[in-house]
Amino acid sequence: MTATPVLQVRDAHVRHRIPGKRPLTKDTVYALTGADLTVEAGETVGIVGESGCGKSTLAQVIVGLRRPDDGSVVFRGRDLWAMKPAERRNQFGREVGMIFQDASTALNRRLTVRAILRDPLDIQGVGTARERQARVKELLDLVGLPGSAADALPSQLSGGQRQRVAIGRALALEPSLLVADEPTSALDVSVRAQILNLLLRLKKDLNLSLVFISHDIQTVRRMSDRIVTMYLGRIVETAPRRVIPTLVRHPYTAALLSATPSILHPVEPIGLTGPVPSSVNPPSGCPFHPRCWRAQPDCAATMPAVETVDAAHIFRCLHPVAGDEQPPPPPESLPDNPAVTVNS
């Protein structure tokens, strides 16, 4: 018997109305369109794509901060938004933790670290006052902070220390699913490695399911079991780590890989011309076709259906990349060094 996934997002749509305009007109932002995502117990799913592609919107849907306009979120076999508010807050709220992008703005600057870590326990009414204090000490140790940090304010800590506090707060209620939205983007390179190693250790030690979001596909490769590529609010490919980089099928995934090449897996740079299309007026057909190096006339007319390589590898593309295919030479209109032409 197959175990029930921890979380399933089914055909989720999120639309943002531009203030003062009528809904569902050309002045509506299509932030998320037809998103399907499954997270299994103990699995890390990485989500990658350019800024504005819908990664953070999908994260908000996963943790219940944003109810999708259409579609559903199913947690351990139950529809999240069919739960009563108190049940959703008490049960789902304990099971899912989130690490936000910038700890300097995500943490209350007026509270000490002790109060920040204790806050989720106070809200949920977990244990006695003494037990909550003991849990704060456990969390400090868990994320590698000294006990003296408990009485510090966020402004008195380094960026890496603040992010450790944010991770500790996300783990306070012992969740089974952790969502990390660009958790290292505001940190120095040397500190990023420490935070990534911490997340890897915690995921293993606590048997967490993890959704890891980043615009850096090489970081996502390191952290994840499966990688989800998003473009203009749509999931265009989901692939297990073992097929990357040689067997990816969607041209956009290939372009992301070429923008941050690996020393062990060198690839030729793929240049993408033109700006990212607007999510207010998305292009017809495949959303990637205006910039795609493999686009054909039918790409502008037809939305690609989901193609299946195997149970763990799906993609949406009418003219997918072959494993041994070489990209075309960069157009003359690109700069002399077009190796990194994908926005980060």
pLDDT at 336 over 90: no
The model's confidence at residue 260, banded by pLDDT at 50, 70 and 90, is confident
Backbone torsions φ then ψ of 25, nearest 5 degrees = -115, -170
**Can you give the pTM of this predicted structure?**
0.88
- 171, HSE (Cβ side, Cα atoms, 13 Å): 26
The Cβ of residue 32 has, within 10 Å, a number of other Cβ atoms equal to 30
- Residue 308 and residue 316: Cα distance in Å, rounded? 9
pLDDT at 40: 95
pLDDT at 189: 84
Identify the structural domains of the chain with CATH numbers, from first to last.
7-224 (3.40.50.300), 241-315 (no CATH)
SS3 198: helix
CA angle 338, 342, 344 (to 5 degrees): 125
Share of the chain above pLDDT 90, in %: 67
Q: By CB neighbour count within 10 A (0-12 exposed, 13-18 middle, 19+ buried), where does 242 fall?
A: exposed
- Residue 89 and residue 341: Cα distance in Å, rounded? 43
pLDDT at 20: 64
Identify whether the C-beta of residue 7 lies closer than 8 Å to the C-beta of residue 73. Answer: yes
Instruction: Give the tens place of pLDDT for each residue, 277-334.
Output: 888 888 999 999 999 989 999 999 999 999 999 888 999 999 999 765 555 544 443 3
- Residue 311 and residue 326: Cα distance in Å, rounded? 27
Instruction: Give the tens place of pLDDT for each residue, 89-134.
Output: 888 999 999 998 888 888 999 999 999 999 999 999 998 999 999 9
Instruction: Give the tens place of pLDDT for each residue, 203-225.
Output: 999 999 999 999 888 889 889 99
Instruction: Give the tens place of pLDDT for each residue, 6-39.
Output: 999 999 999 988 776 565 555 789 999 999 999 9
Q: Which two tokens stand for residue 141?
A: 């140790």
**Residues contacting residue 199 through CB under 8 Å, at least 6 positions apart:** 167, 180, 183, 210, 212, 223
